[in-house]
Amino acid sequence: MPELRKQTTEAPKTALITGGAHRIGAAIIKALHQQGFDIFLHFSNSHAAAQALQKSLNGQRSNSCFIFSCDLSENEAPQKISQWLLQHINSLDLLINNASVFYDTPWQTATYDDWQKMMSINSQSPFFLTQALLPLLSKTSGQVINLIDIHVERGLAKHPIYCASKAALKSLTLSLAKDLKGKVRCNGISPGAILWPEQENNLEAQQEIINKIPLGHLGDVQDISDTVLFLMNNSYINGQIINIDGGRTLHS
């Protein structure tokens, strides 16, 4: 087992991000790494993307990015991730529960398997991973940031299970912020239209969404990563859910 890195005031801050190989997760990782964080990147199946990102970051700063593959739908996943993390560090500054599964589950055809998969990855896994890492986060008065979704407020057609799973994550965010009484802060970020879902090419549907955004355009992954940095740099924000949506939630 590798030696634990000695934690000193000069040591880099540390961040664990789930689902960090692509899209928003990868943008957050790059932003944190630029700020001097050592990165612990969890991924599920995106081996090539995770390895490429690790190689890039370690090329910029040696031994600053570590990767680990694990299926978050497994009950043992939080323990596996925490055990891997403890091979490298004995404290943690930031946990970002970013990993998520998203697909249609219409009321008429949704299955028990759909329910179990979405709930386990989108809300159950963040709960138990946070629970497992509280001792490491408490050592630094660290922070948990959960990636939620603006659709927990008004729902999204054909996605009742997804919305329910993210609503659960929002509730857990508020509960942790209250229950830990400052030992660990917890906040949430709710993205609006930042990236189109993979393989989404319905231009008419895309334009309909953009028409409901007062700013009139999609956001950018940097809008999310900038908000992560803002939350890390402001130690008096706790129990807040920040919508990054160009005003989309104003549309009724």
**Identified catalytic residue from 103, 112, 162, 236:** 162
Enumerate domains of the chain plus CATH numbers. 14-247 (3.40.50.720)
The answer to whether residue 162 is catalytic is yes
Sheet holding 185-191, edge to edge: 65-69, 38-43, 14-17, 94-97, 143-147, 185-191, 241-244
Whole-number Å distance between alpha carbons of 237 and 232: 9
Total number of residues shown for the chain: 252
Whole-number Å distance between alpha carbons of 31 and 63: 17
User: pLDDT tens string for the chain (252 positions)?
Assistant: 444 444 445 789 999 999 999 999 999 999 999 999 999 999 999 999 999 999 999 999 999 999 999 999 999 999 999 999 999 999 999 999 999 999 999 999 999 999 999 999 999 999 999 999 999 999 999 999 999 999 998 899 999 999 999 999 999 999 999 999 999 999 999 999 998 877 667 888 889 989 999 999 999 999 999 999 999 999 999 999 999 999 999 875
Q: The whole model's pTM is what? A: 0.94
Comparing C-alpha atoms, which of 192, 19, 2 is closest to residue 100?
19
